[in-house]
Chain A
């Protein structure tokens, strides 16, 4: 494993850079009060979404979380449309009605971020059931955080998926904290893979700071899900660089801990590794960075210049208007 070509290396690195710069840009836009409301940023966790998405097909589904920008980008979302959505603009992927917490694009298989922790895990099971009933060979990646593993719906849904052998790969992005409460303080067990045991599915831990490790792990269990062997739980150990949200002073963790994770930064380590293995040159890496910066500038410009939704949009889309038959 871990042998990749230049094209793939560039793709993975670029997507991680896109997510990082996207999140950094939102932090900046929030500081300047251009982005109103809250936003839960994915910076630090990029290897999870990018590695996982590199292991699946475009017609596969994902469900995402309140920290969902990275998933939306890695699942093929358009940077301008996603940025516009976060600013609540008419041109946003959800027409400015969803926002950061509800980024979704069903046409691209993204069944949505979610404002409720654990709220989308049942949806993932249902998408898996739909695949099974329709007899296609799609799969579902169901993302959630460590905090969600303590919710009832997590357990109900894993039981359902385990019992019916649904083609769902459950991916727990364990960033160590549910808002401020650490896994150790919240969970009766520390090893989250054990939460799959009663549901008769395999579970493995993986280095969520290593995009190739994530990709390999998801590839392994995606293949099983696709061939009818049923679901699995993957726990990716990772870290969010920013706080839970914009107002988080991060009193529950130390600067030393933050630094120790930044030292393992997924973009820096992957870029370095690709150069060491002579897959990418230093120039290629810096060029990629510049390319992404230009894309982000264009996306931000598009979002800021986009119009707000028209007042008549308020009552649109509550219901589908003409019944199907």
Chain B
């Protein structure tokens, strides 16, 4: 299979869906002429015109609000918020309006809206451009939260997200845009809300998503050389969470480790870990382990930034201690 980058895979998904459905249009800051801060929408304006690929003012709340208004009146917008760190500016529109409108209206409308954004550390951009804020949104019923790690998952999940009649927060990772991988050409859809076992194993279950998947797989490879076979699961969708796949694995391996880049307290690991305890308590041979970001604002210093988030070495060490 041909290999393309995560960025190209996303671009391809947008392009294919815009060709397929006239109702799909893109809107956001610097997405048209510039092609997106991380180049995901490169050349789409040239291909589809300024009407369907729209540069907006720096107005995050209005981008979300207008996306919602268009979504409930016959369009299928894909809007971009340049950094997940800017979510605070539009949280009211996402949390109160986008996610709740269907329920508040008694199910009489659908909200086919995709909100693309990206997060994560790795570029020493400091506390306003490096956060992993996905856990904020797990607390918002009505929303779906999708976080692809591989180029193929990025394409398959974005195409499915655009076809969903539910609002989707689609969180990319700034350090993955140049990652290459095999991606099917043309029609390729992956189900929203379905985890995937990325590496089979029997000694422990590691749940890792987005950039952390790569670190977890690296750690798993090293552990395998020492005879420890861990199963690595990428939930891919955090809300709703595929607890069936996760539970099945934990019941088999009797150990669970959650790896997340975001800060530990009140994070994704807290939620997934608690659900594991609720579902698999009798099967556990060890406490559920969280490997997470430090509870600090992301520091600028490359040295401190590296310390603030998990890496393959730390994941390897902590799992080895747990399993031994």
Q: What's the minimum C-beta distance from B263 to chain A, rounded to whole angstroms?
A: 27
- Which chain A residue lies CB-closest to B111? A320
Q: Given A123, A126, A323, which contacts B160 in the complex, CB threshold below 8 Å? A: A323
* B69 interface contact, C-beta 8 A: yes
Q: What's the minimum C-beta distance from A60 to chain B, rounded to whole angstroms?
A: 11
Q: Which residues of A contact B107 (CB under 8 A)?
A: 95, 316-317, 320
B163 touches A130 (CB 8 A): no
Contact with A along B71-88 (1 / 0, CB 8 A): 111110100000000000
* A21 interface contact, C-beta 8 A: no
Q: Which residues of B contact A188 (CB under 8 A)?
A: none
Residues of A277-299 at the interface with B, using a CB-CB cut-off of 8 Å, are none
- Which chain B residue lies CB-closest to A95? B106
* A122 interface contact, C-beta 8 A: yes
Query: How many B residues face the partner with a CB closer than 8 A?
Result: 45
* B104 interface contact, C-beta 8 A: yes
At the interface with chain A, which of B92-100, B213-221, B252-260, B274-282?
A: B92-100
Q: Given A105, A107, A121, A324, which contacts B163 in the complex, CB threshold below 8 Å? A: A324
* B2 interface contact, C-beta 8 A: no
* B267 interface contact, C-beta 8 A: no
Q: Given A105, A124, A320, which contacts B110 in the complex, CB threshold below 8 Å? A: A320
B102 touches A320 (CB 8 A): yes
At the interface with chain B, which of A24-32, A152-160, A204-212?
A: A152-160
Contact with A along B37-57 (1 / 0, CB 8 A): 000000000000001100011
B96 touches A94 (CB 8 A): no
Contact with B along A140-157 (1 / 0, CB 8 A): 000000000000110011
At the interface with chain B, which of A43-51, A109-117, A252-260?
A: A109-117
Q: Which residues of A contact B77 (CB under 8 A)?
A: 126
A126 touches B71 (CB 8 A): yes
* B67 interface contact, C-beta 8 A: yes
* A98 interface contact, C-beta 8 A: yes
* B65 interface contact, C-beta 8 A: yes
* A325 interface contact, C-beta 8 A: yes
Instruction: Report the Cα distance A309→B92, complex, angstroms.
Output: 28
A94 touches B104 (CB 8 A): yes
Q: What's the minimum C-beta distance from A113 to chain B, rounded to whole angstroms?
A: 9
- Which chain B residue lies CB-closest to A61? B73
Q: Given B59, B66, B141, B142, which contacts A126 in the complex, CB threshold below 8 Å? A: B66
Of residues B62, B70, B112, which shows the largest number of chain A Cβ atoms within 10 Å of its Cβ?
Answer: B62
Instruction: Report the Cα distance A131→B73, complex, angstroms.
Output: 8
Query: How many A residues face the partner with a CB closer than 8 A?
Result: 49
- Which chain B residue lies CB-closest to A106? B109
Instruction: Report the Cα distance A104→B144, complex, angstroms.
Output: 23
Q: Which residues of B contact A98 (CB under 8 A)?
A: 104-106
* A93 interface contact, C-beta 8 A: yes
B104 touches A97 (CB 8 A): yes
* A163 interface contact, C-beta 8 A: yes
Q: What's the minimum C-beta distance from A167 to chain B, rounded to whole angstroms?
A: 12
Instruction: Report the Cα distance A107→B72, complex, angstroms.
Output: 11
* With contact pairs A104-B108, A123-B97 given, residues A153 and B72 touching in the complex (Cβ less than 8 Å): no
Q: Which residues of A contact B104 (CB under 8 A)?
A: 94, 97-98, 102, 104, 112
* A119 interface contact, C-beta 8 A: yes
Q: What's the minimum C-beta distance from A239 to chain B, rounded to whole angstroms?
A: 28
A119 touches B93 (CB 8 A): yes
Of residues B70, B73, B144, which shows the largest number of chain A Cβ atoms within 10 Å of its Cβ?
Answer: B73
Q: Which residues of B contact A116 (CB under 8 A)?
A: 92, 96-97
Q: Which residues of A contact B73 (CB under 8 A)?
A: 61, 111, 126-127, 130-131
* B136 interface contact, C-beta 8 A: no
- Which chain A residue lies CB-closest to B60? A156
Q: Given B64, B74, B105, which contacts A104 in the complex, CB threshold below 8 Å? A: B105
* A230 interface contact, C-beta 8 A: no
Q: Which residues of B contact A231 (CB under 8 A)?
A: none
* With contact pairs A112-B105, A152-B61, A324-B163 given, residues A133 and B70 touching in the complex (Cβ less than 8 Å): yes
A122 touches B106 (CB 8 A): no
* A203 interface contact, C-beta 8 A: no
Q: Which residues of A contact B108 (CB under 8 A)?
A: 94, 104-107
* With contact pairs A98-B106, A122-B93, A156-B57 given, residues A106 and B72 touching in the complex (Cβ less than 8 Å): yes
A323 touches B164 (CB 8 A): yes
Q: What's the minimum C-beta distance from B24 to chain A, rounded to whole angstroms?
A: 10
A160 touches B56 (CB 8 A): yes
* A83 interface contact, C-beta 8 A: no
* B169 interface contact, C-beta 8 A: no
Of residues A94, A96, A318, which shows the largest number of chain B Cβ atoms within 10 Å of its Cβ?
Answer: A318
A324 touches B165 (CB 8 A): yes
B142 touches A134 (CB 8 A): no
* B166 interface contact, C-beta 8 A: yes
Residues of A86-101 at the interface with B, using a CB-CB cut-off of 8 Å, are 92-98
- Which chain B residue lies CB-closest to A316? B107
Q: Which residues of B contact A119 (CB under 8 A)?
A: 65, 92-93, 96-97
Q: What's the minimum C-beta distance from B16 to chain A, rounded to whole angstroms?
A: 13
A317 touches B103 (CB 8 A): yes
13 residue pairs bridging A and B, Cβ less than 8 Å apart:
A93-B106, A94-B108, A97-B104, A102-B105, A106-B105, A126-B73, A129-B66, A134-B74, A153-B92, A156-B59, A159-B57, A319-B102, A323-B165
Q: A104-B108, A126-B69, A323-B160 are in contact. List 16 more A-B contacts (CB 8 A).
A: A95-B106, A102-B104, A111-B72, A112-B105, A119-B93, A122-B93, A123-B65, A125-B62, A125-B69, A129-B75, A160-B59, A163-B57, A317-B107, A318-B102, A319-B166, A320-B107
Q: Residues of A at under 8 Å CB distance from B?
A: 61, 63, 92-98, 102, 104-107, 111-112, 114-116, 119-131, 133-134, 152-153, 156-157, 159-160, 163, 316-320, 323-325
